[in-house]
Each structure stands twice: as C-alpha cells, then as structure tokens.
Amino acid sequence: MSLALFCPSKPADAVDVQQVAPGVWRLRFGNPEPLTPIHFRSAEPAVEAMKSLPAAKDLPIALKQISFSVRPRGCTLELPMTRGERIYGLGLNTTFFEMSGKRAFIVPGDQPENEANVSHAPEPFYVSSDGFGVFVDTARFASFYTGNVDPTSKPPGADSAGNEAASAGGVEDLYRARELRKRTMLIDVPTAQGVDVYLFSGPAMMDVVRRYNLFSGGGCVPPMWGLGMAYRGLNKFTADDSLKLAQSFRDDHIPCDIWGLEPGWQTHAYSCSFVWNRKAFPDPDGFVRQMGVMGYRLNLWEHCFTHPTSPIYEALAPYSGNYRVWSGLVPDFAMPEARKIFLGLHEKEVFSKGISGVKLDECDYQPFRSTNVWSFPEPSQFPSGMDGEQMHSMLGVLYQQTMKEPFDQRNLRTWGLVRNSQALASPLPYTVYSDSYDHRSYVRGVAKSGFQGLLWTPEVRNAESVEEFYRRTQTVIFTPFALINSWFLRMPPWMQVDREKNNAGQVMADHAEVTAAVKKLFEVRMSLVPYLYSAFNEYHLHGTPPNRALVMDWPEDPNVAAIDDQFMCGPSIMVAPMFTGQTHRSVYLPKGTWYDFWTGEKYEGGRRIDIGKPAEIGPVFVKGDTLLPLAAPTERFADNTCYDITVRVYGDHPSAAALFEDDGVSNDFQQGKQNRIDLTWAEGKGSEVRTGSYAGPARYRIVGWDRVASKAIK
C-alpha cells in the first residue's frame, strides 16, 4: 500500500514508430506478446496495391496524444476522441452497429446477437468516422471503451456541461451526464505487457478499409462456382438421399453449385472422427463422383475436436490442448505437426476424394455465461505456447488456414464456411455464419462485415412462413455465400416450410408457386455472378469490400451514419431487405439518382422513400450512371460456362464497369492469367475492350445493352 506503486499513464512520445506499409504505421508500446494476429497472418501485405491508394502524409493521431500504461493485469492505451467521432467495426456482433460510447469486448462467442459485443468474428480493429483506422495486434480478450471513460488526468467536467446543470436528482442525472462527458478511447489488453498498434490513414473510411484489407494481403477471390447457390441437406441424409434430392434439383432446373453434407457423413460427430460413415455412405468415392457428374461441388461439415475413435487421436495428442471438448482433442493448429497429422487424415478421407470446401463449425466459444459451457477453458495450455484465451481468438483463423493448404497445393481455390474469424482475415476464402437467427440482425451483419475484411452469410434455415422464407432468401442472394441450410429438413423448404410437416413428408399445397418464386430469386443470384465476381476481384486488387454499410460510400452524409438495415452489394447495387410482416418500409436513398432494380423506376436521392414489394420480391436499387452487367442465369458453373451478358445502362453518363475473366477455379489468375473486359458507354453506344493473357474458354459474351434510363417512369 504505497504511493510508489502508482504508475499513471504517460504520453507515448518515446514509442517505437515504423511505417510498415504505405499509410500504415506500427507503434510499439512496451514488450508485446509474440503470438498475435500479425504473427499468424494469412498473407503478406499487398504493398504494391497499397501504393495506389490516396497518399497519406503523417500519422493520423499525434503520438503525444496517446498514453500507454503497463500493470500486472495487462496494458492499456488512451487515444483521443473528437466529440462527434463515430466508431465502426470491432467485430461482427449483430446487435450493435455504430460502436461509440460502449465497452466493446473483443471476445468470440457462439451467439453474436448479444449485449456484450461478443461475436463470431471479434476483431481488434476499428474505423473512425474521422478517417483513420486502429488495429491493436492482440489475441487477448481486449476491451475498447469507446468514449465512455473519464480520466482524472483531465480536469473534472472540463468538457461536460453535465456537472453545472446537474442537481440532486438521483438516477435522473445519470444518463444526461454520461451523454455530455468528454471523450477518451481506452483500450484494455489483458495479460500483455506491451502491444503493437497499427494506425491506418484515410483520408476517407473507404480508404482506411481498403488499406487494411490490402495490408491483410488483399481480399479473397472465390471460385466462380462459389458464387452460385448452395444447399445443405438433412443431417442424417445418406448418400442416396443426397443423390436423389440433388438430381431433383437438376430435373427441376433449380440452380445449385454447392452441396453440403452435415455431421452425418462421419462415423462420430460431436466430437469428430473425420472418417466416412460407411453405413450412410458405403462408397464415398462413388458418391463424390456421382455428385460431380451432376455438377455439384461438395462441402463437408466438421469441427476440429478429434474423437478418440479417430485414427489420428493418438498421434495428435502431443500437439493438442490440455482439455478435451466433447471428449475430443483440440488440435494446436499453431504447430506444423498438428496441421500435418490433421491434414494427413483429411487428405485421405476428404481432399483426395475431390471435396471442394469445408464448413468449420464450433471454433468459437461461450464467454460470459455459466451454463452450457462446451468449449475448452481460457486457462487451457497448448504446446505452441498459446493459452486458451489466445487460442479462442485465433482458432478460427488457424483452422481456416490449415484447411486451405490442400487447395493451395492443388492450385485450386476453395470456398468455405466458418463460425469464428478474427483480424487480417480478408485473404481467407471463408464466410462467417451463425447459429443465431434474427433476420434483422443478419442484415446488420452484412452491413458490418464490410468494415473489417470479413464475409458474412445470412444463411436461410427455418422460416415460420413462406413469406419469411422469401424475405430471408432475398437477403442471402446478395451476399458472399448464397446458402439454403436445410440441415434439419428432409425436403427443401420451398416444398414445405414447416419443419414438422416437412420431415413428415407433407408437401405444401402451393409448393409449385413457391418453388417457381424461389427459383426466380435464385436466378437473380445467378445473373449477378459476373458482377459479384468483379466485386470480389476489386476486393482482391484494391481492398474494396463486396458488401458494405452505406456510410462507407457516403461518409459525408449524416443520414447514413447509423443505417444498418440497408447495404451495398458490389459497386452499384443497394439492398434494403423487407422483414416478415412488413408491407412496406422506409428506405434511405443517398444523394444522386436511383433506379428500382426490378422495374427501372427512377428516384431522386438525398431523401427517404417509403416502398413496398410483394413477398416474392425485395427492394433493390441501382445507383444512377451505372453499367450493370447481368448474365442469363445458369444452373451452375462448369469449366466451359460462358455467361451471356446483357449490360443494363442506368443514366446518360454511366461510369465504366469491368468483368474479370479467368479459369474460375485455380489460382492462375494471380499470376496474370486473367482478362479484364472494360465496359464503357458513350454517345448511346456500349463498347467492350478485353485485355490480359488468359487464353482459356471465354467466360462472357456481351449479348446486349439495355438502356434503363429511357424507360424510367420517375
């Protein structure tokens, strides 16, 4: 108990500062831990691409305004916040959008709809509305106090009218005072005795995000089949069940590229054996081959917890954590040995058979609750030196990296699903999904994903009604992984939405109409594949996220600052989903001209409009002066697929657009084997210019230019 123990925060002007990439500075405070997201990064920074971003001159925050402090329980940083500063990012929690005035926990969890900012992708990175980004390189369960702490290092109420105005009113005063408090960002990093902070310059939020995504290595590019429709069948489906249903899709011309198998493919799941269940799948090779003949790419569910009956259990034990989950080992994917053993079995059972992707489940956690404690404890120890807290932060990323290796070795792209990710993940070809299921929250997740190099699918599972099934489908077709996940339904939901009736084989009376309507929505998705493929190539080349909140495109418009029920899809499409029970909704159109995607109706922006769409169609808008290439819908992507493109022309002076042409499945495009087709419109006439050295089958044939502006009704 001595004053000598008191060590107040000090200005950090003596800190080690390095510019590590164009517009990115690393500030080293104290003695950082070794095992962090940067240590485990998936790719090197795309420095060349970063050079083309707006040139940044100096650190976005003056060093002398930053305080740093170390204590036995960890270290902290204080950063200045301006009064109106808004904070975006800090993970994929789907309850919150704008993050200022909160304590944001950077903690993974199995339910991203919660009040603690727990999410399937906790990320110690934020984008400030003041035009810079901050990444704190830690695998600890850090907290960001975003403008709601009141340090005594500043005079009391210096900046707070609350103190003068307040009277002895009790709790009434409380909320008012908080609103008026001056602002400091406090970042709390437990355990670590130091930390590297990366500052990303703007000037705009979009520049910050692009810089961050490129610093992470650049966004992933899906195989073209990854942008098609995906379907996951009943958990208990046998090979025959899958083959039969998959064939029926082809018979009915229902688009589908990806077919998912749930846990039932394994001899043991929860935890996993990673061995085919030969009762349900007597001939796995034959099954994969038959599905391939029908043009499906297979995606296999698993989690990493390795059951004692798995052939690798004994070998994996020395490279696993010291607590089991569901009786299964937790492989330490930070150890090359663990990856090798784990992939050895997967090579035999999965990859050598031609599986195209995986769904990596249960790699998150259950913080902050006392019951249903299923994953390994935070104090777990792993042979790599990580503890359970660090592993919970990194497991999703390490697992994704591990399962990508076999595809890299084959020079193939993959497209997978994962239930936990973290920072610097933009190069990883996986989309985050969730067990939580509120549609409104799912839409918020799509909007939020753009702030931080992550992809999110609002997958469609159950629906209380046909209307809900339509509404959810209308959202998912504009996101990276257009997934109908029927893991608990024997028939597709368009045959019967009611779970019990579905599994009892009772078809809905109006299933034909519903099937037709759903098929139309799937076909919309298929018509967007070339457009989305361009958006993903932009993600890769320039870091521009394919899905984004409006505030990234219109940072100067105060009306969009909090909009999280609309999102951008690619450069020009804005989606404003309707939710079950709504007959109409309010949609904000940013300044400029907008067109109804379905009707071509023209709207002047800079205002809210009220719009209604029937259950079968959701509100979708196209920005004015856009060239929108739409494909004649295919059922799936094949090696020889060539899309018939009609370019919709919105407005009189549309910006140029581009299509990216390559083999669609390998990584050769990264070595330049890719063509770029530039589409332009001038004097009432469209033109296309193809450049590049890809020499395989043509992917696109421009079959028409369709002037939407001319038929605008207003």
Considering only residues 267 through 286, tell me which ones interact with a second copy, judged by CB under 8 A. Answer: 267-270, 273, 277, 280
Q: Smallest distance from the beta carbon of 76 to a second copy, in angstroms?
A: 4
Q: Is the bond preceding 156 in cis, omega lying within 30 degrees of 0?
A: no
Query: Which residue, 176 or 608, is less far from a second copy as judged by CB?
Result: 176
Task: Enumerate residues 503-532 that contact a second copy by CB under 8 A.
Answer: none
Q: Estimate to the nearest angstrom the gap between the alpha carbon of 443 and the chain centroid.
A: 12
Task: Enumerate residues 117-146 that contact a second copy by CB under 8 A.
Answer: 117, 140, 143, 145
Stretch that binds a second copy, among 17-25, 292-300, 376-384, 570-578 (CB under 8 A): 376-384
As a whole number of angstroms, the distance between CA 370 and CA 619 comes to: 42
As a whole number of angstroms, the distance between CA 414 and CA 406 comes to: 10
Structure tokens at 629: 């290439």
Query: Which residue, 55 or 174, is less far from a second copy as judged by CB?
Result: 174
Task: Enumerate residues 538-557 that contact a second copy by CB under 8 A.
Answer: none
Q: How many residues bind a second copy (CB under 8 A)?
A: 100
SS3 206: helix
Query: Directed axis angle between helix 511-542 and helix 205-215, to 10°?
Result: 80
Task: Enumerate residues 151-170 that contact a second copy by CB under 8 A.
Answer: 151-153, 156-157, 160, 162-163, 166-170
C-alpha triplet 549, 202, 672: angle, nearest 5°: 80
Task: Enumerate residues 592-651 that contact a second copy by CB under 8 A.
Answer: none
CA distances from 416 to 294, 300, 457, 482, 596 (A): 20, 9, 11, 12, 32
Query: Which residue, 201 or 299, is less far from a second copy as judged by CB?
Result: 299
As a whole number of angstroms, the distance between CA 543 and CA 53 comes to: 10
Do 385 and 35 form a contact (C-beta atoms < 8 A)? yes
Query: Which residue, 193 or 680, is less far from a second copy as judged by CB?
Result: 193
Binding a second copy (rule: CB under 8 A), the pick from 329, 397, 528, 617 is 329
Query: Which residue, 389 or 459, is less far from a second copy as judged by CB?
Result: 389
Please report the sign of the dihedral spanned by the C-alpha atoms of residue 610, residue 628, residue 467, residue 614. Answer: positive
Task: Enumerate residues 59-118 that contact a second copy by CB under 8 A.
Answer: 69, 71-74, 76, 96, 101-105, 115-117
As a whole number of angstroms, the distance between CA 700 and CA 664 comes to: 12
SS3 485: strand
Query: Which residue, 222 or 367, is less far from a second copy as judged by CB?
Result: 367
Query: Which residue, 127 or 679, is less far from a second copy as judged by CB?
Result: 127
Structure tokens at 438: 């509120």
As a whole number of angstroms, the distance between CA 496 and CA 506 comes to: 7
Stretch that binds a second copy, among 261-269, 418-426, 441-449, 498-506 (CB under 8 A): 261-269
Task: Enumerate residues 386-405 that contact a second copy by CB under 8 A.
Answer: 387, 389
Q: Smallest distance from the beta carbon of 187 to a second copy, in angstroms?
A: 9
Burial call 136-166: b when 16+ CB within 10 Å, e when fewer: bbbbbbbbbbbbbebeeeeeebeebebeeeb
Asked if 2 is part of the footprint of a second copy (rule: CB under 8 A), the reply reads yes
Asked if 441 is part of the footprint of a second copy (rule: CB under 8 A), the reply reads no
Task: Enumerate residues 188-227 that contact a second copy by CB under 8 A.
Answer: 188, 190-191
Task: Enumerate residues 176-195 that contact a second copy by CB under 8 A.
Answer: 177-178, 181, 186, 188, 190-191
SS3 243: helix
Asked if 37 is part of the footprint of a second copy (rule: CB under 8 A), the reply reads no
Binding a second copy (rule: CB under 8 A), the pick from 290, 381, 580, 646 is 381
Query: Which residue, 84 or 385, is less far from a second copy as judged by CB?
Result: 385
As a whole number of angstroms, the distance between CA 72 and CA 160 comes to: 32
